[in-house]
Structure 1
Amino acid sequence: MGKKFLKSDEEVVDPKATLEVSCKPKCVRQLKEYQACTKRIEGDESGHKHCTGQYFDYWHCIDKCTEVQMQSAACSIHCICGFSFALYSLYCMFLLIWSMERSDEEVVDPKATMEVYCKPKCVRQLKDYQACTRRIEGDESGSKHCTGQYFDYWQCIDKCVAPKLFEKLK
């Protein structure tokens, strides 16, 4: 009666995929980092070089963005469908309006902000990593890598960020 059934020729639209497209402009930096990494390792046949970190950073950004939008969409669907619980509807409308007002705002990751301030404290590790990457740049074998220096650098950053980050978590 009030329900509409899909006909066999109608295509089901995945709302998450649609939201992912709308979130891509908010994750341009992560996408560019991933693309730059894939170009850097394009000719590597060894399989030792990878862009896993950049790939996950990009999709983490997309997932965070779509999660907020999916929650507000689910809430608006519940509100529109006429749940008679007055408090739930009121809460739902408040959440929908609030999320619409904030949808243009960029979500700020406190860890990323703190990393910027910690980078000057980890210059030695960064220089070691950069020197290593320059040293192995022409290596065709793919057996050389700078994983140790990379992790030393990020361990230094994390060690600096952690105490400040835990203060912000509640």
Structure 2
Amino acid sequence: MKTYERRWEQFIPISIDEAWDFFSSPLNLQKITPADMKFIVTSSYTPDTKMYPGMIITYKVSPLLGVKLNWMTEITHVQDKVYFVDEQRFGPYALWHHQHHFKQVEGGVLMTDILNYAIGYGPVGLFANKVLVEKKIEQIFKYRTKAIEEMFGK
């Protein structure tokens, strides 16, 4: 099975405390996900819930062609105001390992996302990645960049 790695960096002109407060709340993910994905957190968390190692988050999502899927991730690692990792436990990918890193820099925070993923189904998965999945992931992260800029500035 082929695995893929993607990286994105974004400067956000806010404090590390503000960045961590926003990104460590599972309910805020919906705010930075394209509306056409119909992304809904189905876990019963409150807006002040912060992630912790072992936390399970469930979602409903329509990533491709309007097909509704259940998705479950686990927060496997957390270092306060430095990074956290979410890993898929159930969902559309054979592998999903997403690192979120935060670094205080002059004038704000440098946020780095590192995504490792794989799609099963052998040659069909390779084809699906090239034709659909890779482009969709790129679209999601472009949208996320824009949404974060609109909320917090450039």
| TM more than 0.5 | no
Larger Rg: 1
- 1 or 2, which has the higher strand percentage? 2
Q: TM-score normalized by structure 1? A: 0.25
TM-score (norm: length of structure 2): 0.27
Higher relative contact order (CA 8 A, sep 6+): 2
